[in-house]
A and B are shown apart, each in its own frame.
Chain A
Amino acid sequence: MEIIYLIFILFLSGAIATFLLGKVSKRLRDIAFITTLVVPSVLFFTQINIGQTVDFSVLGIHLSWGITNFSYIFAYIVLGLGVLAGIYAVAAMKGKENLGFFFFNYILSIMAMMGILFSRDLISFFVFWEIMTWSSYLMVVFTGKDVQKVGIKYFIFSAIGAYAMLMAIVITYSLTGSMMISNLIFAFPDFEFGMQILIPVLLLIGFGVKSAMMPLHVWAVGSYSHSPMAYTAVFSGALSKMGIYGMIIVMAGLVSRIPEGYWFREVIAWMGAITAVGGTLWAVAQDDAKKMLAYSSVAQLGYIIIGIAIGTPLAMLASLFMAILHGMFKGTLFMAVGAIEKQTGTTNFTEVTGLIRKMPFTFLASLMSIIALAGIPPLGGFIGKWMLYESVIGSNHYLLIIVIFFSSTAAFLYCYKFLFGFFLGQEEKEWAHVKEAPAMMVVPMVILAIGTFIFGVFPGLILNPIDAGLQELGYAVTQGRYWEMSVLFNEWGDTVVLQPILYTILAVFVFFLAFVLTKNFKKTRYVSTKDISSSGEIPKEHENLTFSRGFFQPFLRSVEPLMRRKIDPYYNSFGRGMEAIFDFVRRIYTGNGQTYALYVVVFALLLLIFKDRLWG
Chain B
Amino acid sequence: MVGSPVLLIAIPLLAAFLIPLLGIFWKELVRIIPGLVLGYLTILSASLYIDVLNTGTIVETIAGWRAPWGINLVFSPLTGFLATLMTFIGFIIWLYSYRFKRNVEFEAAKKYFIFLMLLVAGSIGIVITGDIFNQFVFIEIVGISAYALTAFYTGRNSAEAAFKYLIMGSLSASALLIAIILIYSQLGTLNMAEIAANIHNMPPQYRVTAMIFFIIGIGVEAEIFPLNGWAPDAYTEAPGPVGSAFAGIVVKAGIYAMVRMMFTLFDISGPMQILIIIGMITLVVAETSALRQVQLKRMLAYSSIGQMGLVLVAFGMGTKAGVFAALFLMLNHAIIKPLLFFSGSYLVFNSKEKNISEMSGLGKLMPFTAAFFALGSFAIVGLPPFAGFWSKLSVLTAAANDGLLLIIAIVLLVSIVEIVYYFRVINRIYFFKFDKATSVVPHKPRVNALIAMAILAILILVIGFYPDSVSEILNRASEDLLNTPDYIKNVLSTGQSLTY
Q: Which residues of A contact B (CB under 8 A)?
A: 57-60, 123, 126-127, 130-131, 133-134, 137, 141-142, 144, 147-148, 151-152, 155-156, 159-160, 163-164, 166-167, 170-171, 173-174, 579, 581-583, 585-586, 588-591, 593, 595-597, 599-600, 602-604, 607-608, 611-616
Tell me if B399 and A600 are in contact (CB < 8 A): no
Which secondary structure dominates chain B's binding surface?
helix
Taken together as a complex, chains A and B put the C-alpha atoms of A600 and B171 apart, in Å, by: 8
| Residue B462 lies at the interface, judged by CB distance under 8 Å to chain A | no
Chosen A-B contacts, 22 in total, with CB atoms closer than 8 Å, are: A59-B393, A131-B384, A131-B385, A141-B427, A141-B430, A148-B424, A159-B415, A164-B412, A173-B400, A581-B288, A586-B291, A590-B229, A593-B160, A593-B164, A595-B229, A596-B230, A600-B172, A603-B226, A603-B227, A608-B209, A613-B273, A615-B268
Taken together as a complex, chains A and B put the C-alpha atoms of A137 and B420 apart, in Å, by: 13
**Complex contacts, A155 vs chain B, CB 8 Å:** 419-420, 423
**Residue among A152, A155, A615 with the most chain B CB within 10 A?**
A615
- With A160-B416, A170-B396, A597-B167 as contacts: A127 and B384 at CB distance below 8 Å: yes
For residue B90, give the distance in angstroms from its CB to the closest CB of chain A.
Answer: 28
Taken together as a complex, chains A and B put the C-alpha atoms of A171 and B319 apart, in Å, by: 17
**Complex contacts, B226 vs chain A, CB 8 Å:** 599-600, 602-603
**Complex contacts, A595 vs chain B, CB 8 Å:** 229
**Complex contacts, A141 vs chain B, CB 8 Å:** 427, 430-431
**Complex contacts, B403 vs chain A, CB 8 Å:** 174
Tell me if A611 and B208 are in contact (CB < 8 A): yes
For residue B109, give the distance in angstroms from its CB to the closest CB of chain A.
Answer: 29
**Complex contacts, A597 vs chain B, CB 8 Å:** 167-168, 171
For residue A605, give the distance in angstroms from its CB to the closest CB of chain B.
Answer: 10
Which chain A residue has the least Cβ–Cβ distance from B220?
Answer: A600
Q: Which 9 pairs, one residue from A and one from B, show the smallest C-beta to C-beta distance?
A: A596-B229, A174-B400, A163-B412, A599-B226, A170-B400, A127-B384, A593-B164, A582-B288, A603-B226
For residue A533, give the distance in angstroms from its CB to the closest CB of chain B.
Answer: 52
Taken together as a complex, chains A and B put the C-alpha atoms of A166 and B467 apart, in Å, by: 18
Which chain A residue has the least Cβ–Cβ distance from B328?
Answer: A59
**Complex contacts, A585 vs chain B, CB 8 Å:** 285, 288-289
- With A59-B467, A147-B431, A173-B400 as contacts: A596 and B167 at CB distance below 8 Å: yes
- With A155-B419, A171-B405 as contacts: A166 and B233 at CB distance below 8 Å: no
For residue A203, give the distance in angstroms from its CB to the closest CB of chain B.
Answer: 14
> 0/1 per residue, B400-411, Cβ < 8 Å to A?
110101001100
| Residue B293 lies at the interface, judged by CB distance under 8 Å to chain A | yes
Which chain A residue has the least Cβ–Cβ distance from B168?
Answer: A596
Name which of B30-38, B56-64, B210-218 contacts chain A.
Answer: B210-218
Which secondary structure dominates chain A's binding surface?
helix
Tell me if B292 and A615 are in contact (CB < 8 A): no
Taken together as a complex, chains A and B put the C-alpha atoms of A583 and B291 apart, in Å, by: 8
For residue B464, give the distance in angstroms from its CB to the closest CB of chain A.
Answer: 10
Q: Which residues of B contact A (CB under 8 A)?
A: 160, 163-164, 167-168, 171-172, 175, 204, 208-209, 211-213, 215-216, 219-220, 226-227, 229-230, 232-233, 268, 270-274, 285, 288-289, 291-293, 378, 383-385, 389-390, 393-394, 396-397, 399-401, 403, 405, 408-409, 412-413, 415-417, 419-420, 423-424, 427-428, 430-433, 467-468, 471
Number of residue pairs spanning A and B whose beta carbons lie under 8 angstroms apart: 168
Tell me which of B292, B378, B412, B427 contacts A134 (CB under 8 A): B378
Which chain A residue has the least Cβ–Cβ distance from B471?
Answer: A59
Which chain A residue has the least Cβ–Cβ distance from B401?
Answer: A174
Tell me if A613 and B415 are in contact (CB < 8 A): no
Taken together as a complex, chains A and B put the C-alpha atoms of A151 and B422 apart, in Å, by: 13
**Complex contacts, B399 vs chain A, CB 8 Å:** 170
**Complex contacts, B431 vs chain A, CB 8 Å:** 141-142, 144, 147, 151
**Complex contacts, B384 vs chain A, CB 8 Å:** 126-127, 130-131
Taken together as a complex, chains A and B put the C-alpha atoms of A489 and B409 apart, in Å, by: 49
**Complex contacts, B270 vs chain A, CB 8 Å:** 616
Tell me if A604 and B212 are in contact (CB < 8 A): yes
**Residue among A130, A155, A581, A600 with the most chain B CB within 10 A?**
A600
Given contacts A152-B424, A170-B393, A589-B289, 7 further A-B contacts (CB under 8 A): A141-B430, A163-B413, A170-B400, A585-B285, A593-B160, A600-B171, A600-B216
Taken together as a complex, chains A and B put the C-alpha atoms of A582 and B424 apart, in Å, by: 16
Taken together as a complex, chains A and B put the C-alpha atoms of A614 and B204 apart, in Å, by: 11
Tell me if A59 and B390 are in contact (CB < 8 A): yes
- With A593-B163, A603-B216, A616-B270 as contacts: A156 and B419 at CB distance below 8 Å: yes
**Complex contacts, B408 vs chain A, CB 8 Å:** 167, 170-171
**Complex contacts, B171 vs chain A, CB 8 Å:** 597, 600
**Complex contacts, A127 vs chain B, CB 8 Å:** 384-385, 389
Tell me which of A57, A147, A173, A586 contacts B293 (CB under 8 A): A586
**Complex contacts, A133 vs chain B, CB 8 Å:** 383
Tell me if A589 and B229 are in contact (CB < 8 A): yes
Tell me if B227 and A159 are in contact (CB < 8 A): no
For residue A180, give the distance in angstroms from its CB to the closest CB of chain B.
Answer: 15
Tell me if B272 and A596 are in contact (CB < 8 A): no
For residue B427, give the distance in angstroms from its CB to the closest CB of chain A.
Answer: 4
Taken together as a complex, chains A and B put the C-alpha atoms of A612 and B211 apart, in Å, by: 12
**Complex contacts, B288 vs chain A, CB 8 Å:** 581-582, 585-586
Tell me if A163 and B216 are in contact (CB < 8 A): no
For residue A57, give the distance in angstroms from its CB to the closest CB of chain B.
Answer: 8
**Complex contacts, A579 vs chain B, CB 8 Å:** 291-292
Taken together as a complex, chains A and B put the C-alpha atoms of A207 and B29 apart, in Å, by: 60
